[in-house]
Structure 1
Amino acid sequence: MTSTLPAGALVAAASPGTMDAMVPYTLEWNWPETPLIILAILVIALVGRWLLVRAIRRASDLAVDRATRRRREQGQNEPLHLARYAARAATMGSLLRSLTNVVISVLTVLTVLAALNVPLTPVLASAGVGGVALGIGAQSLVRDYLAGIFMIIEDQYGVGDLVDLGEATGTVEDVGLRVTRLRDGNGQIWYIRNGEIARVGNQSQGWSTATVDLPVDSTESSARVIEILDAVVAGIRDDPEFAKVLIDDPQVVGIQAVEAGRMTIRVTAKTRPNEQGGIQRAILDRGLQALKDAGVRGPRTLPPPPAL
């Protein structure tokens, strides 16, 4: 059985220059073909959404597992690091699921309208005009969201990282698709739009470097000073307190600079992310004490040149 239902809308079919001829369009309804077609469209949409959401959830779980294994291989088993990657994967999974729902819903509605013989050209044209207007009016918002998406995909930084974002430097407390929140060394909270971040300096990915410069008198024997400091860094290397912090053995690099009355010896150590502060203080404290006990003189303060 075939019937037509008035849709209550008019489509212009007039010749150029006239608006007299208006033709009403009708919905096509064939029983039982049309209900079966609509039911099939809905079933396909639901099954497709279920498969895509399951694939996204599976991919997110695999991403978390890979990140966890990689962090454990690097010796980073803190819950903060593992939670960071879990939150990143969960954010991406939520974003992809929302995008999947929107795309499938739009395609389903358009397919059902096409099955009912509804002309889609005016609908698509209106959607195109609306999309252009929205894009022009919300350029900064779109830029923020796109920057946030790529930032999360590329893992530029995460919660707990010490970062330099140009305008502010501090520890990341929250990462969103539009705004990043971080707290600087003075306790002040900064909210930075992702679209305004032009560069990112991350001090928490992989490892950090502890660098200590020890000044002595320029007339001292550099070989003797380096020998004393070698014994100091060997003691720090064997200290159980720093065993979990050090990634590699501390090294006495050698002479860093020679100035009037001053010679600077540099010591470096590779540490776990954001753990270099304690090593630096220990090397500086023990190094200065060892040099003092060995009778090594500190840098001289030369008198200013005579005035002309």
Structure 2
Amino acid sequence: MPSIDQMASQMSALCEGDTVICSTLVKMFGDAPWAPLVSSAITIVLILVLAFIIRRFAHRVITRVVNRAATGGSITSRFRKGAATDGIDALLHERRKQRAETMGSVLKHVASIVILGTAVLTVLDRLTIPIAPLLTSVGILGVAIGFGAQELVKDFIAGMFMLLEDQYGVGDVIDAGAAVGTVEAVTLRVTRLRDSDGRVWYVRNGTITRVGNESQGWSRAYMDVPVAYDADIVGVRVLLEQVAEEIWADPELRESKMVEEPRVYGVEQLSDSSLVFRISAKTLPSAQAEVARELRLRVKTALDTAGIPMVASA
């Protein structure tokens, strides 16, 4: 270990090479023997204070960027405005806010590590402690951890991109390949799903190669209606359009589950035994099953009332 006199002489040499702060302080203190030590101590304090100021400024910038990212315009403006689309906008805003806050937290931690780590290394160098062996050791340790924790790093990187791209969020119904269910929790490493049987699945983000999201933006409910070849095509289409108008006129469905009026696409398929008509409706996320059940009920009732039988399509 170097003695105090040796450290003082080394700090004095450092101050002589430092023409910005330390050498200026030494000149202010005159030829006192303690001037290099005091000047170096003041320089260290200034370095730490400057590091915390830069860290605070970086956090403020990240917070401002996160707040701006969390408040975006409505992406459902192309739909009619109403309770349903207002619900979509509220859901998307909350998802955007959660994603932005998560990314902001990660960026703040990274900024703190980089800024404070640089300040600590600068202080160690100012204290004449050699940092080259330390940097070499950290580099070797980083390589070893990188090789030993490749899967963990892969999971974290996949989780970062998943959050950035808003692939899914809590409450979404997704098909992650390994499991299908409702997202209950999302971290940078794993995604927790609960399937229709109540089973909880923990899926590592790095193992997810494709995701099917049934709850993002909007969904679609549809029904294929097979009728006989000799059925009145025009009459069947008019009947289905009346059913679509009735469903759209239902205030409960229109205001809380649907975003556009149902459409009748006419003859969708031709088989050797039937003509297949299709009726579909654009709905709120995850509301397609309930709307589809209502479609089936009303179409079947309307066909029975009109005396038009449905036939099995080949």
What band does the TM-score fall into relative to the shorter chain? 0.7 to 0.9
Please tell me whether the aligned partners of residues 214 and 288 of structure 1 are also in contact (alpha carbons under 8 angstroms).
no
Could you tell me which residue of structure 1 aligns to residue 31 of structure 2?
none
Asked whether the equivalents of residues 218 and 259 of structure 1 are also in contact (C-alpha less than 8 Å), the reply is no
Matches of 1:98 and 1:122, distance apart in 2:
25
**Relative contact order (C-alpha < 8 Å, sep 6+): which is higher?**
2
Q: Does 1:278 align with 2:284?
A: no
Could you tell me which amino acid in structure 1 is paired with residue 159 of structure 2? G
Q: Which residue of 2 aligns with 1:53?
A: 59
Structure 1 counterpart of 2:15: none
The answer to whether the aligner puts 1:3 opposite 2:20 as a matched pair is no
After TM superposition, give the deviation of residue 77 of structure 1 in Å: 3.2
- For 1:263, the equivalent position in structure 2 comes to 275
Amino acid corresponding to residue 61 of structure 2 in structure 1: A
Matches within 5 A, 1:128-167: 128-167=139-178
CA contact (8 A) 1:3 1:28 kept: no
Structure 2 letter corresponding to 1:234: E
Q: Which residue, out of 263, 266, 281, partners 1:254?
A: 266
**1:173 aligned counterpart, secondary structure:** strand
Structure 1 pair 156–301 and aligned structure 2 pair: CA distance change class (3 A)? closer
Structure 2 counterpart of 1:255, one-letter code: V
Q: Secondary structure at the match of 2:71?
A: helix
- TM-score with structure 2 length normalisation? 0.83
Structure 1 or 2: larger strand share? 1
- CA shift, 1:60, in A, is 1.8
2:47 corresponds to 1:41: yes
Cα distance in 2, alignment partners of residues 301 and 101 from structure 1: 64
Q: Give the TM-score normalised by structure 1.
A: 0.84
2:120 matched to which residue of 1? 109
Whether the aligned pair in 1 keeps the contact of 2:192 and 2:201 (CA below 8 Å) is yes
5+ residue gaps in structure 1? Answer: 7-25, 303-308
Partner of 1:126: 137
- 8 Å contact kept, 2:52–2:116: no
2:62–2:107: 8 Å Cα contact kept in structure 1? yes
SS of the residue corresponding to residue 275 of structure 2 reads strand
Once residues 132 and 125 of structure 2 are traced to their aligned partners in structure 1, the CA distance between those partners, rounded to angstroms, is 11
Distance 1:300 1:219 in 2: 14
Structure 1 counterpart of 2:59, which letter?
V
Q: Match for residue 14 of structure 1?
A: none
What is the aligned length? 280
Structure 1, 160-169 or 84-93: larger mean CA deviation: 84-93
Tell me what 2:221 maps to. 210
Aligned match of 1:187 = 198
- CA 1:204 to 1:144, structure 2 compared with 1: closer, same or farther past 3 Å? same
Q: Does 1:294 align with 2:306?
A: yes
User: What SS class does the counterpart of residue 130 from structure 2 fall into?
Assistant: coil
CA gap of 1:264–1:83, structure 2 versus 1, over 3 A, is same
Given the superposition, is the C-alpha separation of residues 137 and 301 from structure 1 closer, same or farther in structure 2, using an over 3 Å criterion?
A: closer
Deviations 1:52-79 (A, max 9, x none): 111112222222222xx43675724376
Number of the residue aligned with 2:87: 77
Which structure has greater helix proportion? 2
Q: Describe the superposition over 1:89-115 as per-residue Cα deviations: whole angstroms up to 9, x where unpaired.
A: 221121111111211221011101222
| 1:246 match: secondary structure | coil
Are residues 1:197 and 2:208 paired?
A: yes
Q: Could you say which residue in structure 2 is the equivalent of 1:95?
A: 106
Please state how far the C-alpha of 1:154 moved relative to its aligned partner. 1.0
Q: 1:275, 1:290 → 2: CA distance?
A: 23
Shift of 1:80: 5.3
CA drift of 1:300 comes to 6.5
Task: Give the partner amino acid of 2:133.
Answer: P
How far off its partner does 1:299 sit?
A: 1.4
CA contact (8 A) 1:71 1:77 kept: no
Cα RMSD (Å): 2.2
